[in-house]
Structure formats: C-alpha cells, structure tokens
Amino acid sequence: MKLKILVTAGDGVGPEVVKEALAVLEVVAQVGGHTLELDHKRIGGVAIEQDGTPLPADTVAAALDSQAVFLGAVGDNKFDSLPASKRPEKGLLELRAALGGFANLRPVFAFKELTVNSPLRPEIIDGSDILFIRELLGGLYFGKPRGWDKAKNEAFNTMIYTRDEVSRVARIAFQLAQKRRKHVTSVDKANVLEVSQLWRATVIEVAKEFPDVTLEHQFVDAMSMHLMKRPRDFDVVVTENMFGDILTDESSVITGSLGMLPSATIGGKVNLYEPAHGSAPRYAGKNTINPLATILTGAMLLRYSFRLEAEADAIVAAVRKVLEQGFRTEDLARTNPEGLTVLSTSEMGAKVREVVKSMLVKA
C-alpha cells in the first residue's frame, strides 16, 4: 500500500519528535511492504520566517492532496508580540479549518509503569483507557454573534449546535465504541443549557442505530469529578468543543506527562495527526524531549487513515514494552528515577523502532 503523507514538522521540538515518529513508520512500512510517500511543507513560525505567512498556500494544497497530514507543533515565544492573526498558531487553526475535521480523538491511557508519574494515586488510574472525542468545529468557540462592546462594558459568545453537527460526531463515537468496550458517555449541561438539551436528544437518537453500545449521560461539572475519582469506568467520552477542551486537559494528568498524549482529528477531507503537546521551545534542539506522544500519534495515523490496525497495535505494544524495560525520557524519570535508564529523544526513538521491528517480523 502507498501511504501518501504530508509532514508539517513546524517549530520548536516539532521536527525532533516528528523525525522519530516517521522513522518508526518507515520500519512498519518496510516490514509490511508498504511505501511511505512523504512530502514536507512549512507551517507556523518557520513559515512566517521563510514565507511571510504561518500557512503558505502550497502547504494547504499539499495537505489536501495527501491521504493524511502529520504535524509536529507550532509556536515560539519570539512571535508573542505579533497580533493573533499573524502568529504561528493561526497557521494551525487555518489548516484545521481547511481540512475540515470535526472529531478530535484523544486517547488517554495509563501505562502501568507511568502511574507513579501522575499526581493521582496509582490504584485509581491503573488500567484507565479512555477515548475522548471532542467536537472541534462548533460550539462556543465558533458561534456567532460574538463580540466585546467596550462602550457598553459587555462581551458575549454564542454556544450553538445544529442537529447535524451533533449527530455526525456522535456517530463516530458509537462506531469507535463498537471496536472497544461498547460504552459511550455523552457529556453535556442539559440541566441548564438548551444547546445541551439538543445535544442530548440527538445523541439518544443516534444511539438507536447502535443497540450493542451502552449510552450514559453525565453533566460536565460532575464528569470533571468522576474522571479524577474513577477514570477506569469510562470508555468513549463524547462532548462539545469547550467541554472537551477542558476535560481532555484535566485528564492528561492520568498519563503522567504531556509527552505521552497523541491526537487525531478526523471526519474532514483529510485527517490531521498531531501530538497533544506544543512546541516546548525551551527544549528545542536538546535531544531530550519525549517523542512517544508523536510516535503514538503515528500509530493513530496507521489506524484511522489506513486501517493498518495490527501495525498500530504493534507500535502501542512496543511503547509499552520499552517502558516495561525501564527506559524513560527525562520527563518520565523525574518522579522516581531509581532503576530507570534515561534516554535521549533519538535513543528512545531507536528503542521503539527496534522493538516494533522484532514484533512485526515475528508476527
């Protein structure tokens, strides 16, 4: 199979982590007889410096012409003084809009070896495996009217959803739950907000198409507590844009480090894959940053854009194995370094490659 991927490594640590993830994908492709057809284009600060814009037109064209877009991260403090419309992050927002993905998938998974890194007690988080699906194109962040009337000292945003916007993201949640533990939790605020009442009614309608999946509803305030007290009880969690933004950041503490969180945005013209972390400019060029979030993002790319499930599973299993063997990047070794071997970014990438290769060759 040919895998035509546009790579936009971006700024800061983006190029370092993307390099390691691509090397893992290269091993998977070689063993499986696939061809990685990679095109590299600029986005973010590096594009501002070289092209005068955070999202050059040829990056958008190449993205739309690819089967998947693999992004590192954008942003650097040196652009902080620019107006929001000219900053690196604007490039990413525009790319997301051009690709049109409306379902942001964020798996939150507690690797047993890393539970010690979380501020939550290991016996609470051990075994947690949640797939968050955040609606990404609607709700409060995009709703109109919006504005700040300075004369009146009044500002407002609009939380708005249509039935179609809710049903398409709910359908993805149920479809993915069918491949997992068949349980969907829909999060809303239906006791107060009409938009949440529409959300809930629509999710209940869509659930009828999936009789094998159990549906439960939670209010967002209660959910924020349940996630910290009993995260193991949740399988697929689907929610609107802002609630998802908040709950996924809250739940990142379960994984022990931002360097462990992959993400994918699907449902549009071309899927977009990126680690959940940013460009961490302080760490750029030091070869110490954790590449595992990006490597796990590569696994999502194989799963959701190419249906290479076994290969994706092998990458996740290899990451688990490397952790079991006591290998860590700096961020994962801070809490309890005893008995651990701290690896650089490139060494960690090489370890995962080695294990993935041996797993796939044996299979």
Ligand X SMILES: NC(=O)c1ccc[n+]([C@@H]2O[C@H](COP(=O)([O-])OP(=O)(O)OC[C@H]3O[C@@H](n4cnc5c(N)ncnc54)[C@H](O)[C@@H]3O)[C@@H](O)[C@H]2O)c1
How many residues sit close enough to ligand X to count as binding (CB under 6 A)? 20
Q: How far is the CB of 192 from ligand X (least distance, A)?
A: 30
32 versus 281: smaller Cβ distance to ligand X: 281
Query: What is the C-alpha to C-alpha distance for residues 9 and 165, in angstroms, rounded to an integer?
Result: 30
Alpha-carbon torsion (114, 116, 118, 122), positive or negative: positive
Query: What is the C-alpha to C-alpha distance for residues 260 and 177, in angstroms, rounded to an integer?
Result: 22
**Residue 229 CA to chain centroid, in angstroms?**
23
Query: What is the C-alpha to C-alpha distance for residues 255 and 260, in angstroms, rounded to an integer?
Result: 6
Distant-in-sequence, close-in-space partners of 152: CB < 8 Å, separation ≥ 6: none
235 binds ligand X (CB under 6 A): no
Query: What is the C-alpha to C-alpha distance for residues 40 and 58, in angstroms, rounded to an integer?
Result: 11
16 binds ligand X (CB under 6 A): no
Report the site for ligand X in 87-106 (rule: CB under 6 A): 89, 92
Amino acid at 2: K
Which residue stretch of 1-9, 72-80, 125-133, 353-361 sits at the interface with ligand X (rule: CB under 6 A)? 72-80
Nearest to 3 by CA among 37, 39, 41, 30: 37
Q: How far is the CB of 245 from ligand X (least distance, A)?
A: 11
| Interaxial angle between packed helices 292-306 and 345-362, expressed in degrees from 0 to 180 and rounded to the nearest 10 | 40
Nearest to 20 by CA among 256, 261, 290: 290
Which residue stretch of 73-81, 124-132, 158-166, 304-312 sits at the interface with ligand X (rule: CB under 6 A)? 73-81
230 versus 282: smaller Cβ distance to ligand X: 282
Q: How far is the CB of 154 from ligand X (least distance, A)?
A: 29
Q: How far is the CB of 51 from ligand X (least distance, A)?
A: 18
Quick one: the chain helix, strand, coil %, rounded to 5? 50, 20, 30
Q: Residues with catalytic annotation? A: 141, 189, 221, 245, 249
What are residue 6's phi and psi, to 5 degrees? -90, 125
- What is the x/- site pattern for ligand X, positions 254-293, by CB under 6 A? ---xxx--------------x--xxxxxx------xx--x
Q: How far is the CB of 113 from ligand X (least distance, A)?
A: 16
203 versus 343: smaller Cβ distance to ligand X: 343
- What is the x/- site pattern for ligand X, positions 313-332, by CB under 6 A? ------------------x-
Would you tell me which residues interact with ligand X (CB under 6 A)? Answer: 73-76, 89, 92, 257-259, 274, 277-282, 289-290, 293, 331
